[in-house]
Amino acid sequence: MKSFNIRLKEINDVYKLVNTLLAYDGAVDLGSGRYIVDGRSLLGIFSLDLRQPVAVHVHRDEDVEKLQSMLSEFVTD
């Protein structure tokens, strides 16, 4: 499993993220602090602290770069 960070600044960013992950073929989790949620769950994402960067955990290592490019507008250091 590989990870990278994203920042979601507004509600529409969450909707764009979920729509992108619904089109993605692999499993993705999002994490903030000690909480991990399904990347396709709006309710789960809104339960995270979105004031901080959110970690994207990609379960298939070979897809990390592909997913990073799909989410390039949200990726942060």
| Confidence (pTM) | 0.91
Of the candidates 67, 51, 9, 3, the residue with the CA atom closest to the CA atom of residue 31: 3
Q: Can you give the residue ranges of every domain in the chain? A: 2-76
pLDDT in tens, 3-55: 999 999 999 999 999 999 999 988 999 999 999 999 999 999 999 999 999 99
Please write the tens of the pLDDT for every residue from 54-66: 999 999 888 889 8
What pLDDT score was predicted for residue 61? 84
19, 26, 60 from 12: Cα distances, Å: 11, 23, 27
CA-based nearest residue to 40, from 31, 30, 49: 30
* CATH architecture of the domain with range 2-76: 2-Layer Sandwich (3.30)
